[in-house]
Amino acid sequence: MRLNLRLVLTFVIVTCLTAAAAMLLANRIIHYQFNNLVIESGSRYTRRLAPILARYYERHNGWQGFSKTMAFFVDNLQNNDNSNIGSGTLLESILRDDRFILLDAGGNVVYDSREDENKPFLSKAIINKGTPVLDKNQKQVGTLIAMSSLGALSTTQRAFLAQINLWMLTASFLIILALALASFFVARSISAPIQSLVQAAHKVAAGDYSQTLPVDNNDELGDMAKSFNKMVSQLEEQRELRRRSMADVAHELRTPLSVLQVDLESLEDGLTQPTPESLHALQAEVKHLNRLVEDLRMLSLVEAHELKLDKSPLNLADLLREVAGRMEESARAGKVALRVEVTEQNLPVNGDEQRLAQVLINLISNALQHTPPEGVIRLGACRAEPWVKVWVSDSGEGIPAEDLPFIFERFYRSDKARSRTKGGSGLGLAIAKSLLEAHDGRIQAQNDPVQGAVFTFMLPLYK
């Protein structure tokens, strides 16, 4: 059963059960209150009629002739002639709407206004519920019983209740119909985005990453559509990244392998002699391959959260000076000045000293590649609660604006024409970013307002 149909059926069933329960409750309350009203009305009539009947009893010294008198009254009532009858309005109301029975002091029936109908069972309990007829000496000379005071309903009253029940049923049906229509549109508004999501998910599973969902709501369904669109976008980016990474890995491996193959074939064919220079060139290509494979292995371990970090408290200021000392010779070889700008002597962080040193070496090496002779590289750090801020800036050509969003992607080179010898494998910045994230840190790149590029990373301050 589809979701849309299940929602509609659920709404309709809940509505029907609610309407039935409400109707049953309202019906019971109406019947209960109406019966109480009828009983109270019948009792009120008998209390008002009892003194009139008592005067008749006193005037005639008994109930003789009462039945004939009432028969005469009823005939006149049927002929709509009440001019010669006292208290006609009260009696007319009772006789038209109710059945009343008059008993004498011995409990015998003196008069029954509906004697042509079934004779009611008058138990002692029922008689005790009647209204006593008292003479002037307060002696009970009879009992007046109105059937309405016992809870019996007249034909008119039953018709009234039946009409109410009919209107309640009609109202319930109309409510159920209206709510069924409303539930259809509500269910459709809920199921339609879900159906669109299912269809789009099937296409994404088949490899079509162009699928997007319209965001028409500011509720959970809208959040679902936004999340799906973001997921598809990220999947597309990851697929493109994997495709580009595989192509870059193939390119990076093919070049040194081709060089090795050509050189080895030349040695094998005797075209080249195994001189120290040729062997050194072969060894350089092998080292490049080893370095590339090791970088890829480390990057995969970091991204899979499987790289083991030997974290311990360390002073980042001391680490910056140590790394700067290790890179000093490379800086002098490129005729570049390497300056350390640390304003505080104690910058504690909790990290893996070897991996953080690798991050700094990668950033400084990257800066050396982009800094011309007589240029300057600045390595600095300071507190920026709750972080330690570290920066590496150079006086080179800077980073093209269109390359800034991709600078930390693997195998990315802003200068596409740069050789591997000068430009490296393109994994250094990606490894630096992954290692910093493994230390709960973050890194960003931007251009210096004057000249060159600035790489800034933050590490949590250790307290």
pLDDT confidence of residue 373: 92
Q: Are residues 362 and 296 in the same domain?
A: no
pLDDT confidence of residue 82: 43
Q: Is 265 domain-assigned?
A: yes
Q: Are residues 250 and 349 in the same domain?
A: no
Q: Are residues 360 and 450 in the same domain?
A: yes
Q: Are residues 321 and 447 in the same domain?
A: yes
List pLDDT tens digits, range 39-60.
888 888 888 888 888 888 888 8
Task: Please say which residue of 285, 303, 321 terminates a domain.
Answer: 303
pLDDT confidence of residue 87: 44
List pLDDT tens digits, range 230-240.
888 888 877 87
- CATH number of the domain bearing residue 109: 3.30.450
Question: Where in the sequence is the domain holding 370, given as residue range(s)?
Answer: 312-460
pLDDT confidence of residue 283: 85
Q: Are residues 246 and 319 in the same domain?
A: no
Q: Is 195 domain-assigned?
A: no
- The residue ranges of the chain whose pLDDT is under 50 are 77-78, 81-88, 416-423
Q: Are residues 322 and 425 in the same domain?
A: yes
Q: Are residues 324 and 286 in the same domain?
A: no
Q: Is 171 domain-assigned?
A: no
Task: Please say which residue of 274, 303, 332 terminates a domain.
Answer: 303
Q: Are residues 75 and 94 in the same domain?
A: yes
Number of domains in the chain: 3
Q: Are residues 39 and 147 in the same domain?
A: yes
Q: Are residues 231 and 102 in the same domain?
A: no
Q: Is 193 domain-assigned?
A: no
Percent of the chain with pLDDT strictly greater than 90: 19
- Give the 3-state secondary structure of the chain: CCHHHHHHHHHHHHHHHHHHHHHHHHHHHHHHHHHHHHHHHHHHHHHHHHHHHHHHHHHHCCCCCHHHHHHHHHHHHHCCCCCCCCCHHHHHHHHHHCCEEEEECCCCEEEECCCCCCCCCCCHHHHHCCEEEECCCCCEEEEEEEHHHHCCCCHHHHHHHHHHHHHHHHHHHHHHHHHHHHHHHHHHHHHHHHHHHHHHHHHHHCCCCCCCCCCCCCCHHHHHHHHHHHHHHHHHHHHHHHHHHHHHHHHHHHHHHHHHHHHHHHHHHCCCCCCHHHHHHHHHHHHHHHHHHHHHHHHHHHHCCCCCCCCEEEEHHHHHHHHHHHHHHHHHHCCCEEEEEECCCCCEEEECHHHHHHHHHHHHHHHHHHCCCCCEEEEEEEEECCEEEEEEEECCCCCCHHHHHHCCCCCCCCCCCCCHHHHCCCCHHHHHHHHHHHCCCEEEEEECCCCCEEEEEEEEECC
Q: Are residues 320 and 263 in the same domain?
A: no
Q: Are residues 330 and 249 in the same domain?
A: no
